Amino acid sequence: MKSEQYKTYLDESELPRAWYNLRADMKEKPAPLLNPETHLPVTAEELEKVFCKECVKQELDDTTREIPIPQGVLDFYKMYRPSPLVRAYFLEKALGTPAKIYYKFEGNNTSGSHKLNSAIAQAYYAKEQGLTDVTTETGAGQWGTALSMASAFYGLKCHVYMVKCSYEQKPFRREVMRTYGGDVTPSPSMTTEVGRRINAEHPGTTGSLGCAISEAVEAASKLPNSRYLLGSVLNQVCLHQSVIGLEAKTAFDKLGVKPDVIIGCAGGGSNLVGLIAPFMGEKLRGEADYRFIAVEPSSCPSLTRGKYAYDYCDTGKVCPLQKMYTLGSSYIPSASHAGGLRYHGMSATLSALYDQKYIEARSITQTEVFEAATLFARVEGTLPAPESAHAIRAAMDEALRCKKEGREETILFGLTGTGYFDMYAYARYNDGEMSDYIPTDEEILKAHERLPKIKV
């Protein structure tokens, strides 16, 4: 063990200079986004009313394999990247497994997660387009923090709609955003039409990402020089997050190691698609084989219990329709401590890959998640975000399977962020007060029945 390397950092000269667009290597592409009124494939012109021009271009491009990272983004990336690829020696020892466990750690920046990878790209394009304001939603608060940071850097004003249950559980998250000049409104709020409508229909609701998205989109449309930026789900976000996988792949190649299983948590799906992108590319091109596992919370099981169908991305039904694994945009998941995974749907790319059987999925309960988080914190030092701990749990389960089967497999998981703003959740766990709500089949069916009827 003495001579082993714990962490692998790339030199700055080895950092990716282009994002990898996984869709370019997919034979069956994700289905196109649809206009929510006409149900026809959405045009660039329509999307540009909501999103930045360059982001729209990236959103619709499913053929260009490599998309250069602008120099302004590369410079910012260098402030907090490369992120380390870490060998979890102490976790392996604690589990007594013959498996080799690695994780790609994206939490060493003030946003506390991988979200900064896309925030800085989107803010850069917003600034280039001459915008003055941007709006967004945030669940756990990581994306809102990331976008506040990126906005401060480029001198943009950032307006964040934060899911109410997270807003209440994480008072200090708001202060970080405020320190970066962002303003934060709990969602659903009374400041937008859609917020007022949702509040009226669901009195006392703790909100959802779907609600917050609708509010942020409406707010952007009412500001004079603004667009809406989204932290997950979209193709453009998956594209920006490919920097995670590209770095990981380069590091593994340097080490001469090939992972067998690659695991990530999945809320909207962007971190997972980003992590697996170059490996999945090899699999799609028939150059190598890997197992991929998406891990989601039992309380919001989009892949494992959702339907592959066209659905609204937001509760207010103002965004384009996307074909995805979804619980239905009317589904409001129970309050949970993994706010970042509390989304009714899943990225179109990830959904298509899951539908095409390239990826496995599993769901786990909060208690299982926090058991894994606590063990990981104690043996590996880093206190993980509850979202990230979904991946830790699955990695541990895979490592224990290897132990049982006597296999020396190599496991890679994405440790997307730190839990420093999730101590309310840890307190509940430490106090033995964690609830493990699993929706009933009836609830799931009811939400499915309200999916839009689309003929494609």
Least distance to a copy of itself, CB of residue 11, Å:
8
Least distance to a copy of itself, CB of residue 91, Å:
10
Contact positions vs a copy of itself (CB under 8 A): 1-2, 5-7, 9, 12, 71, 75-76, 78-80, 86, 89-90, 108-110, 112, 149, 152-153, 171-172, 175-176, 178-181, 374, 377-383, 418, 420-421, 423-424, 426-427, 430
Whether residue 301 has a cis bond before it, omega within 30° of 0: no
Decide whether 152 or 257 has the Cβ nearer to a copy of itself. 152
Least distance to a copy of itself, CB of residue 405, Å:
28
Among 374, 364, 382, 392, smallest CA distance to 432 is for: 374
Decide whether 14 or 443 has the Cβ nearer to a copy of itself. 14
Residue 340 is given by DSSP the state G
Least distance to a copy of itself, CB of residue 147, Å:
13
Q: Which helix (H) or strand (E) holds 163?
A: strand 157-163
Decide whether 103 or 292 has the Cβ nearer to a copy of itself. 103
Among 118, 125, 112, smallest CA distance to 48 is for: 125
d(CA 52, CA 54): 6
Least distance to a copy of itself, CB of residue 373, Å:
8
Least distance to a copy of itself, CB of residue 96, Å:
16
Residue 371 is given by DSSP the state H
Decide whether 83 or 315 has the Cβ nearer to a copy of itself. 83
Least distance to a copy of itself, CB of residue 9, Å:
5
Residue 405: CB atoms within 10 A of its CB come to 10
Strand, coil or helix: what is 41?
A: strand
d(CA 330, CA 312): 9
Least distance to a copy of itself, CB of residue 240, Å:
17
Decide whether 312 or 413 has the Cβ nearer to a copy of itself. 413
Tokens representing 144 are: 């809102």
Decide whether 32 or 70 has the Cβ nearer to a copy of itself. 70
d(CA 364, CA 374): 16
Least distance to a copy of itself, CB of residue 380, Å:
7
Residue 24 burial (C-beta neighbours within 10 Å; 0-12, 13-18, 19+): middle
Backbone angles phi, psi at 154, to 5 degrees: -100, 5
Least distance to a copy of itself, CB of residue 426, Å:
5
Backbone angles phi, psi at 428, to 5 degrees: -60, -45
Which residues fall within 8 angstroms of residue 351, CB to CB, at 6 or more apart?
A: 30, 269, 303, 308, 323, 324, 325, 345
Dihedral-angle region of residue 130 (phi above 0 means left; psi in -120 to 50 means alpha; beta otherwise) = left
d(CA 33, CA 314): 13
Decide whether 185 or 347 has the Cβ nearer to a copy of itself. 185
CA angle 293, 119, 172 (to 5 degrees): 90
Decide whether 105 or 161 has the Cβ nearer to a copy of itself. 105
Decide whether 5 or 43 has the Cβ nearer to a copy of itself. 5
CB 391 within 8 A of CB 265: yes
Decide whether 44 or 79 has the Cβ nearer to a copy of itself. 79
CA angle 238, 366, 93 (to 5 degrees): 85
What is the chain's length? 456
